[in-house]
Structure 1
Amino acid sequence: MIVGLIVASEIGFWVLLGLGLFTRYVLRLRRLSVALLIGSPVLDVVLLFATVIDLRRGGTAGPFHGLAAVYLGFSVMFGHSMIRWADQRFAHRFAGGPPPWKPPSGGWARTRHEWREWFKAVAACAISAALLGAGILMVGDATRSAGLLAWLTRMPLVVGIWFVVGPGWATLFPGRAKEDAVR
């Protein structure tokens, strides 16, 4: 059941996002678009409640219960930027908006960008860890909550790998920004 809800949440996110942007820029129905875009976090709340209900009814926390917590943590931290990313492209394509923002290609601007994204990932992992910890406490049985604990041990690995390939690399090898390379 949890796997289906995670998949439905992800599909629902993109469907609501697409419909919200379509109603905003093509149909010019701003209020309806806002209502559709607000539906995205509602899907996350539904996933959270379904996971809690499943565990409260005596379900054993499997890997997908943990994945639901991780999905929620990353959705909280990166959902807004994903919506902004899609909004800029939709506005440019259908409403004559400016070209979408692109992350810096090099230099210290890229390094700052990588650090900012990494801190968002750290916060996403912290939110996920808090949800996993709450789930472990709620279940109250080490055997039934082993699937959640396994995800807790993966969070530092995610943050570590992200650090190496993101801000660590960009700090050591910032490269040149395109405008610097042209001069």
Structure 2
Amino acid sequence: MSFIAWIIVACEIGFWLVIAAGLITRYIFNRKRIGLFFLALTPVLDLFLLIVTASDLYNGATATQVHALAAIYLGVSIAFGKSMIRWADERFVYYIKKQGTKPARRSGMAYAKHSLKGSLQHVLAFIIGGAFLYLMIYWIDDPDRTQSLSDMLKLWLLILGIDFVLSISYFIWPKPAKTK
């Protein structure tokens, strides 16, 4: 595995460690400001990943799928970060603190709307990550060195289309509620 791949793995682990530290500090130790500080560190990890990836390419590396994944990770982290933190927050309060209401399982139109909201976040992630992919392609200005970035951009666009088709399908064929 390449250096950039390890940085992506480290940033993902760091993301969840920072979230856990924020939630533990916030709810176990009742230190809301310090907890918020930890939660606010998540974009710092994204910035670090962007700097390392750009430096690697600037120093002459041929772009690989891993470099493309760094841009995708950045887009997804920015677009979905707040909702991932909210998801973790709700579950932490219910399962660890034994407070609040149990996070509900969605079905029917609620599930369809939630899925469409996720698809719209995916569009935002694509815009952000795609912009970074395009900027790296433009910056390097060598189609031989950036072919994998272009290929990943096309693949991501296909995946985004599939995501939308699936989300729309839930409006036509709603997800049934689980029966006990």
Same fold, judged at TM 0.5 (above): yes
Match for 1:16: what amino acid? V
The structural deviation recorded for 1:97 is 3.2
Aligned ranges 1:69-108 → 2 under 5 Å: 69-106=71-108, 108=109
The structural deviation recorded for 1:77 is 0.9
Residue 173 (structure 1) aligns with: 173
Residue 33 (structure 1) aligns with: 35
Match for 1:99: what amino acid? T
Contact 1:21-1:33 within 8 A present in 2 as well: yes
| Matched position secondary structure for 2:41 | helix
The structural deviation recorded for 1:78 is 0.9
Distance in 2 (CA, whole Å) between partners of 1:104 and 1:96 is 21
Match for 1:44: what amino acid? D
Distance in 1 (CA, whole Å) between partners of 2:176 and 2:146 is 48
State the aligned residue count: 177
| Matched position secondary structure for 2:100 | coil
Structure 1, unmatched stretches of 5+, are none
The 1:169/1:20 distance shift into structure 2, 3 A limit, reads: same
Identity of aligned residues (%): 39
The 1:72/1:150 distance shift into structure 2, 3 A limit, reads: same
Residue 44 (structure 2) aligns with: 42
Structure 2, unmatched stretches of 5+, are none
Contact 1:88-1:101 within 8 A present in 2 as well: yes
Distance in 2 (CA, whole Å) between partners of 1:161 and 1:54 is 32
TM-score by length of 2: 0.91
Residue 15 (structure 2) aligns with: 13
TM-score by length of 1: 0.89
Distance in 1 (CA, whole Å) between partners of 2:96 and 2:160 is 37
The structural deviation recorded for 1:151 is 0.8
| Matched position secondary structure for 1:120 | helix
